[in-house]
Amino acid sequence: MKNLGILLSGRGSNFVAIADSIAAGRIPDARIAVVISNRADAPGLEVARARGIQAVAIPSKGRPREEHDRAIAAALLDHQVDLVCLAGYMRLLSAWFVQQFPARILNIHPSLLPSFPGLEAQQQAFAYGVKVTGCTVHLVDEELDHGAIIVQKTVPVLDSDDEHTLGARILEQEHIAYTEAIKMVLEGNFEIAGRRVVRGQRSEVRLQK
């Protein structure tokens, strides 16, 4: 059984999608050991508690980044987390934190990286006028929205779209993509060659037991 640790800052729909996928058996042999937020008022924390999942607020406001990250890492270790999933965690992680969990942190981003990194990626894509956008699940490295890509899903931009309708269709794909990516990483059925994550090979990167 692998323990997931979820970091979030907001409503937590990706967290809920992951929890639903575990409950439905789409992510086998896994459980969410803890949900942690840097914002005490994140709705995702309440959703977790309502589902009987441990939920912890570790407020980041006014705290130096690495000191805050050390508190988060301690909570993850307390819960024996094998894989850290960023699910709308809107705070940059320190290099120190990333180094604590090598190839064991995933992030979901609402664009086809490397296009539109950073904040409000859906709005950036809409304003740019691209005809296709989507979402990306990637390993987290020390650069923003940059690590090796695990899964991407495309979403067409329709003439009738506005930012909200487009964002909603991207979010639907995020929920599907995150489940696929977590299952694949937990199974270890891939190889990392440079930036390329290739399926069907036994991974060199093993999660700790």
Binding flags for ligand GAR, 57-76, as an x/- string (CB under 6 A): --------------------
The interface region with ligand GAR, picked from 7-15, 63-71, 146-154, 195-203 by CB under 6 A, is 7-15
Are 7 and 37 a contacting pair, CB within 8 Å? yes
The interface region with ligand GAR, picked from 5-13, 24-32, 52-60, 185-193 by CB under 6 A, is 5-13
- In the chain, the largest separation of any two C-alpha atoms, in whole Å, equals 49
User: Alpha-carbon distance 7 to 5, whole Å?
Assistant: 7
User: Alpha-carbon distance 58 to 71, whole Å?
Assistant: 7
| Residue 47: closest CA among 79, 17, 76 | 17
Q: 87-98 burial, b for 16+ CB within 10 Å, e for fewer? A: bbbebebbeebb
Number of residues counted as binding ligand GAR (CB under 6 A): 16
- To ligand GAR, the closest distance from the beta carbon of 108 in angstroms equals 5
Active site residue 79: no
Selected catalytic residue, list 109, 146, 164, 175: 109
- To ligand GAR, the closest distance from the beta carbon of 121 in angstroms equals 6
177 forms part of the interface with ligand GAR (CB under 6 A): no
